[in-house]
Chain A
């Protein structure tokens, strides 16, 4: 009998060990780190305990730049990608032939290596001595001036980053929305058709409310994902994001931890906790709004 009581824990043991070592312990530790002032990773000593790390991070111009970049990225990419995915999914749902093919193609970016394909975007947008790059030639064709999107003005770099981010997150959103659209009860549509309701009205009065929980799910995960943006930026602008003025909050955390400007786990921890607080706040606001707006 004694043995029987232990058996379930034996099955759980590996999971508990890994969770404990690499999630629970680090979670507690990161809070401790963030309050230890003047931590030295070589000697593992610190001077005192307090909020200095937070104040340092919040006054660091690099962090403020990262914060600004991340917010711009979030505010642009989340609505744009969600709306675009909605339009594309609605289009997909309304056609029959070739739908599978389109769906397959649209999903491709999900399985690609962000770093690798980012390089392709870089060469498409980059202006080099040899060539202005394909996108600039397109711009020239329409009478515009060439812009260096990779090493040029801030808005141009932000544009590429947003464009690439949208490209990367679209597969997931299209997939979720197409399955949500497919699950709407056809009887509603038939009833509306009998009443002679226009297509636009059917979409706004029936389809949208029916799939609104999924839209909100996408908005919430979209916010969380966009706040954690990092590898897209590295793919486009290289690892030295501070120099490119294109750092994100997550990038700032990793730079503090490691790399040329690294070796400050306390600052990294403080920044990580600030990020967590921001994401948590936004998620809560989203949940409150969705409670009032979403049709269940």
Chain B
């Protein structure tokens, strides 16, 4: 009898401890959630505060009862934010499309076609993944400058297309498609290219979507190359635009307008992320790194 109550007591204490541990865990998880979300909240909040109100608040208020969208109009009219936005859109769409056009056939050749020196060339390709961008950017800058392509979309886009990693990722995926399908198609007289378009791509659609999204994120946030290659605001992308706004636009003190611009720039990717949350996270876990 004595033993039995002891056991119950121990169980009760243990359950209590577990509850405390779970509570503490949630507390710290929520704390980090706040650290992550707070800057986003603050930027949205500041962007809807009036300029005068913002500057008169020595102790900033955590909410506003009179939200205004004037800052957004200001952001689009005082600086060419729409232009930056359009540039980034063009840059992202064209670069990503060209990347697919380059990467898909290469992955197909490595995965499906037989030719002399295939392994050697593939290893050469892979070794390129270890080359940091900083090493090649210097010559690329000189090349593009000498070609007179500064402040053009060609100069922005061409050096940004290649991603060896995506060839690797897609090749791995292509190789999982059974050989029998290929031989059956061959017997039917299907051309390699048609087989790639009609069979392999549809089967590998998830991977293609993943690399597309990862490339879009990369393009949308790219800063270093566009900064080097453009000094004409007509060709600025959003990252350079925001830097320009910070240093010259609005008068340096118009923080609410600046935050409105930041919100506008951030929204597309946040929406994209919320739409393709699972795919993006799986894709990044498979080998994306930031920057």
- Segment with Cβ contacts to B, from A22-30, A56-64, A69-77: A22-30
Q: Bound complex: CA of A105 vs CA of B33, how far in Å?
A: 6
> Once the chains bind, are B29 and A91 in contact (CB under 8 Å)?
yes
Most buried by B among A14, A94, A128: A14
A residues within 8 A CB of B55?
A: 130
- How many cross-chain pairs have Cβ atoms below 8 Å apart between A and B? 253
B159: Cβ under 8 A from any A Cβ: yes
Q: Bound complex: CA of A288 vs CA of B205, how far in Å?
A: 39
A184: Cβ under 8 A from any B Cβ: no
- Segment with Cβ contacts to B, from A107-115, A154-162, A202-210: A107-115
Q: Bound complex: CA of A294 vs CA of B280, how far in Å?
A: 29
B residues within 8 A CB of A88?
A: 28-29, 32
CB distance from B150 to the nearest CB of A (A): 10
Cβ-defined partner of B35 (8 Å) among A117, A119, A167, A238? A167
B187: Cβ under 8 A from any A Cβ: no
With A23-B131, A172-B290, A239-B243 in contact, is A230–B224 under 8 Å at CB? yes
Cβ-defined partner of B134 (8 Å) among A29, A115, A131, A272? A272
> Once the chains bind, are B262 and A167 in contact (CB under 8 Å)?
no
A residues within 8 A CB of B224?
A: 230-231, 254
> Once the chains bind, are B134 and A105 in contact (CB under 8 Å)?
no
B60: Cβ under 8 A from any A Cβ: yes
CB distance from B131 to the nearest CB of A (A): 6
> Once the chains bind, are A265 and B36 in contact (CB under 8 Å)?
no
Cβ-defined partner of B159 (8 Å) among A22, A87, A94, A103? A22
A253: Cβ under 8 A from any B Cβ: yes
A residues within 8 A CB of B139?
A: 25-27, 29-30, 33
B86: Cβ under 8 A from any A Cβ: no
Is chain A's binding surface mostly helix, strand, loop or mixed?
A: helix
CB distance from B169 to the nearest CB of A (A): 14
> Once the chains bind, are B57 and A14 in contact (CB under 8 Å)?
no
Cβ-defined partner of B164 (8 Å) among A8, A19, A111, A279? A19
> Once the chains bind, are B131 and A113 in contact (CB under 8 Å)?
no
> Once the chains bind, are A111 and B272 in contact (CB under 8 Å)?
yes
Q: For chain B, residues 144 to 167, give those with C-beta under 8 angstroms from any C-beta of chain A.
A: 158-159, 161-162, 164, 167
B120: Cβ under 8 A from any A Cβ: no
B residues within 8 A CB of A92?
A: 29
A residues within 8 A CB of B3?
A: none
A residues within 8 A CB of B106?
A: 11-12, 14-15
Q: Bound complex: CA of A95 vs CA of B32, how far in Å?
A: 15
Given contacts A26-B139, A27-B131, A29-B142, 8 further A-B contacts (CB under 8 A): A9-B109, A15-B106, A26-B136, A102-B33, A114-B239, A179-B285, A258-B228, A275-B132
Spell out A's residues near B (CB within 8 Å).
5, 7-12, 14-15, 18-19, 21-27, 29-30, 33, 41, 87-88, 91-92, 94-95, 98, 102-117, 119-121, 123-124, 128, 130-132, 134, 137, 167-170, 172, 175-176, 179, 221, 224-225, 228, 230-231, 234, 238-239, 250, 253-254, 257-258, 265, 268-269, 272-273, 275-276, 279
Closest 9 CB pairs of A and B: A26-B139, A26-B136, A11-B109, A15-B106, A8-B115, A11-B105, A29-B139, A8-B113, A14-B102
15 chain-A/chain-B pairs, Cβ below 8 angstroms: A8-B113, A11-B108, A22-B159, A23-B128, A30-B139, A87-B28, A108-B273, A110-B284, A124-B39, A131-B59, A225-B289, A258-B141, A258-B227, A275-B134, A279-B132
